[in-house]
Each structure stands twice: as C-alpha cells, then as structure tokens.
Amino acid sequence: MFIIPAIDLIGGKCVRLSQGDYSSKKEYHDDPLEMAKRFEDAGISRLHLVDLDGAKAKKIVNGEVLERICAGTNLQVDFGGGIQADEEIERAFSLGAKQVTGGSIAVKNPALFEDWITKYGSEKIILGADAKNRKIAVGGWEETTSVDLIPFIKSYFDKGIRYVICTDVAKDGLLQGPSVDLYQEILQEIPNLRLIASGGVSSVKDLEDLEKSGVYGAIVGKAYYEGRVTLEELAAFNS
C-alpha cells in the first residue's frame, strides 16, 4: 500500500479543512515546497496536491505551487482542484503533475472527462469519488448529488479508469478512523480497481487496517500534521 501525503492549498499555504468546510481552515505551513521536501527526504515517493482555491474558482489558482514542487522534488504529484476544462488539465500536466484528479467534472461533464481518459490514458487520470452517505458530492463537497457511489465508480471503471480516490466526507479531517468497510465493499464489486482511501486516518493502526482491506494507497493529511503519525511510520509502509 502506498502512503500518499496530502497538501491542501489556500493562498499558497498548507492548510487542512474538516469535512470540506472552508470556515474550519487550519494553516500548517507557509511553504508547501519545504513540506513536500520533508516527505521526499523520508523516502515517500508520491504527493496528493489539492488546490482548494481552484476548487472554488473552477480553474487552477495555485499553479505556481504545483510548478515549484514538481521542479524542486522528484515526487510523483497527483493534482486536483478546479480542473474543469481542456486548457486547465493541459496546464496541470505542463506544470509537472504526473496525474490529475477529476471529481466534479466527471459528474457535470462526463463526455469531457471520458475524452481525457482516452487522450491521456488510464495511468494519468484519477477519478475523484467523494461521497456523503454513499452519494457523490461535488463542488468542494458543497453539493451532494443523487448519484450512487459504487455504480458511479463502476461506470468509469468500465470506461477505462483504474485509479480512484474515494473520500468519505463524513470522516474527512476528523481523525476518527477511515471507512474501511466501504472500501472493502467497493473492492468486492470492482476487484482490479486501484482504490486510494482518503479521509479519517488517525493512527498507524488505521493504516494497517486499510492495508489489510486491499486498497492501493492511503492519503494521509491531518494525522501527520497533528502529530498522530510520524514521517518514519508513514515511510515504513512504502518500504
């Protein structure tokens, strides 16, 4: 199981939200590149970089940060937040992103998202499947749709998607444990999916439970920033 640290960006700084609530913002570091280098120096190879300003603006806002991290480290960066047009995904890749995550776009404009799967290939496009009560949530989680989570993922798997980041919004940022049962259910339905769990990790035990569930990767944010897990503990999963 890959450990994938998360850096969420508002105003060019590292922040975390709870359950997607922008008013719950807590700032952790004012230099995302320095934070990314810490992860790399610990032996971690991947980074989940989210442009929260971009998610609101529906276009890339923190592109300079993406470029600095990609130029200043060898981390494989997956980037998301506000990528809803051809010029935005092209820009993300030109700035150095190895993968791009599309969430809202996959719901709001499936034809365009399917074009991206075809154009860039299944190794470069990640489906962001965020759920509230097993329904897909979009727009920085401010809008819950009537779309059921597992059929939504399955439909895109059938169209070529192989990587999915699934966040249970009810768990995100609360340090109360991840939705292991939900991830197991998804993998029972779609066994060959490279499922990346996101939200709720609070301890090494949570990570061990996720690894046993068969997920491909686990995104860790607040648990690290709040001192619940160390870089050494995170890096041990990737060795």
Task: Name the CA dihedral angle for 198, 57, 100, 118, rounded to a multiple of 10 degrees.
Answer: 120
* Spatial distance between the Cα atoms of 49 and 69, rounded to a whole number of angstroms: 10
Helix axes 204-213, 231-238, angle to 10 degrees: 20
Is 130 a residue of the active site? yes
Q: Which of 78, 130, 168, 206 is catalytic?
A: 130
* Spatial distance between the Cα atoms of 230 and 233, rounded to a whole number of angstroms: 5
Is 8 a residue of the active site? yes
* Spatial distance between the Cα atoms of 13 and 217, rounded to a whole number of angstroms: 25
Amino acid symbol at 170: A
Cβ count near 192 (within 10 Å): 8
Contact 126, 157 (CB under 8 A): no
Q: Looking at the annotation, which residues are catalytic?
A: 8, 130
